[in-house]
Amino acid sequence: MKTYPLQTNLKQDYLNYTAEDKAVWKILFERQMALLKHLAAPEYLEAVEQIGFNANKIPNFEEVNECLELKTGWKLEVVDGIISELDFYELLASKKFPATTWLRKLSELDYLPEPDMFHDVFGHAPMLVNKGVCDFYEAFGKLGVQHKNDSEIVRMLGRLYWFTIEFGLIQNKNELQIYGAGILSSHGESKFAVSDEPKHIDFNTEAIMNTNFDNSVIQNTYFVLNSFDDLYTCLSKVETLLAKSQKQKINLGN
């Protein structure tokens, strides 16, 4: 998938949104929230309220950033599209989350070759009001920067991100609930992920970091947190696994 160079001078041209853009946001927001009120983790639903998103207004990044900076010190960073892994890690380590400002067309509500603003902002931005999630992002970003020259470790970190922040589920009493942005922003996957069709595997850091994924299809395997504490505390296990991986490489080199 194409990546875009990170530019630090990009801004959201809020006045440039068209009637179609506004209609797309409204349709997607109303459709998802009607579904997610039964399927999403309460932490996400509460975060949507705190950040002030609604169907009748495309989020204004300046207003969103004022809210985020007050609550957690984070901000959205405007990007053209998917950026490199290193740029992504560096942004997270600096308390910034990359987000595009373009919206899909009415003719492509359910499929896009790359993430748009609805995925980036509706899916990811609300949980940036949650300090625990932000602490995870920041620590995760710093690990990525620290190991930027080790391609295998970068792949392992990518798997962890994929199966948690993008496509993570959480067990709440007897119900599976969604917290991953890739599911939250997808109408079809929201219903599929918590159904009986895919595999649901108990959260296991080592297993996740050694499980490959295909980003071009709906997932057939999801890892399930028992609580968000699993996410917040897994980074110590990640560091142990990365140290083990590096030691094995050194031994093989000898």
Catalogue the active-site residues: 119, 124, 166, 185
The answer to whether the beta carbons of residues 161 and 133 sit under 8 Å apart is: no
What is the maximum span of the chain, computed from C-alpha positions, in angstroms? 63
CA distance 234 to 15: 42
CA distance 253 to 155: 20
The answer to whether the beta carbons of residues 224 and 169 sit under 8 Å apart is: yes
User: How much helix, strand and coil, in percent to the nearest 5, is found in the chain?
Assistant: 55, 10, 30
List the structure tokens of 194: 């918590």
- The terminus-to-terminus CA distance of the chain in angstroms comes to 36
